[in-house]
Amino acid sequence: MKKWLGILLVLALAGGVIGYKMYNKPHKDLSSASPDYVLFPSTLVNEYEEDEDAANAKYLDKVIELKGKVREISQDGTGNFIMETGNPLSGVQCALLNPEDIRSLSEGATVTVRGICTGKLMDVNLSRCVIIL
Amino acid sequence: MKRVLILSCMLVIIAHASFAQKYFTKTGQISFYSDTPLEKIEAHTKSATCVLDGSNGKMEFAVLIKSFQFEKALMQEHFNENYMESNKFPKSTFKGQIDNFNSVDLSKNGRYNAKVSGQLTIHGVTKDVSTDAIIQVQGDKLDCQSTFEVAVADYGITIPAVVKDNIAKVVKIKVMANLEPLKQ
């Protein structure tokens, strides 16, 4: 009887630990995560312009790595910048995980950025972005 | 004399048209807060778009649901997959206008109280809403802020019984947008 109680207690404890770990599961670390897609910013935007639903089905929640030129840096402290796509109406807007990383960027410079695709408003949007050196 | 009159009328019209500026941002900030005795949950995005037509006070917001960031990854997952179904409904929008636009002078620095109303779409459900907002005019920039509340059930979002005490029935939403003149 005592033995069973002991086993139950251990099981309950293990369940609690697993539950707690799941509850506190960390966000994916994009600086070490391998990308699902490595693309040019123009490729991503073109696919979205062609068929937004199909592009969403393919790219939403995926880790996207882009290499390209910085078109525009937002100076409002929100940590957003836009990648050049050759399409003046639609770029790729990247929201940096650490807004202060924006200081390492300059307009016209070539960068590699990794982020999670959240869809398209005017630009295709990536969130939790990190700059890959 | 008649000609001068017509010409000056035209000039006034042209001057007015060029003043009818559109204001815009792609980095609008939206946060929401769910407070219950059991749990406080909040999420933030800094990637909302907003455009305001300076000629008539019409305005539009759009935000990607997946751009909202939570402290806990699991909550962000549940929010997207179970409650907002963001693969099916990726965007939330607001289309409306400043109702008392006559008392907001965008050409004059100052702090204005605005009444905003329009249609809010969340989770594929569109509802009429109205709220108070503050517009701070500083040169050619507009700093807009508003806080309002949304009842989760109004938008067809169902909260499972297991977590019904952890998630507020009415969620507070805070919007901040620094609009700049749209370069045309």
Using a CB-CB distance cutoff of 8 angstroms, which residues of chain B are in contact with residue A74? Answer: 26-27
pLDDT confidence of residue B80: 96
Using a CB-CB distance cutoff of 8 angstroms, which residues of chain A are in contact with residue B66? Answer: 60-61, 116, 118-119, 127
Cβ–Cβ below 8 Å for B66 and A80: no
How much is the ipTM here? 0.89
pLDDT confidence of residue B160: 87
Q: Structure tokens of A1?
A: 């009887």
Q: Hey, where are the domains in chain A? A: 37-132
Q: Which CATH architecture fits A37-132?
A: Beta Barrel (2.40)
The enclosing domain of B93 has a CATH number of 2.40.128.110
Q: Answer whether residue B104 is part of any domain.
A: yes
Q: For residue range A44-65, what is the model confidence (pLDDT) as tens digits? A: 999 999 999 999 999 999 999 9
To the nearest whole number, what is the mean pLDDT of chain A? 94
Residue A110's alpha-carbon distances to A79, B40, B180, in angstroms, are 17, 41, 27
Q: Answer whether residue B9 is part of any domain.
A: no
Query: Into how many domains does chain B fold?
Result: 1
Q: Answer whether residue B142 is part of any domain.
A: yes
Q: Which of A9, A80, A67, A33 is nearest to B64 (CA)?
A: A80
Q: For residue range A63-110, what is the model confidence (pLDDT) as tens digits? A: 999 999 999 999 999 999 999 999 999 999 999 999 999 999 999 999
Q: Answer whether residue B14 is part of any domain.
A: no
> Residues B124-145: what's their mean pLDDT?
97
Tell me the C-alpha distance between B97 and B119, whole Å: 10
Using a CB-CB distance cutoff of 8 angstroms, which residues of chain B are in contact with residue A56? Answer: 87, 90
Cβ–Cβ below 8 Å for B27 and A118: no
Residue B59 backbone dihedrals phi, psi, to 5 degrees: -145, 155
Q: Structure tokens of A85?
A: 């796509």
Q: Answer whether residue B171 is part of any domain.
A: yes
Q: Pick left, alpha or beta for residue B118 (phi over 0 → left; psi -120 to 50 → alpha; otherwise beta).
A: left
Long-range contacts of B35-40 (CB under 8 A, 24+ apart): B35/B168, B35/B172, B36/B165, B36/B166, B36/B167, B36/B168, B37/B165, B38/B165, B38/B166, B39/B166, B39/B167
Q: Which of B44, B45, B47, B77 to mutate to test the interface with A (most CBs of A within 10 A)?
A: B47
Q: Answer whether residue B66 is part of any domain.
A: yes
Domain assignment of residue B67, given as a range: 21-181
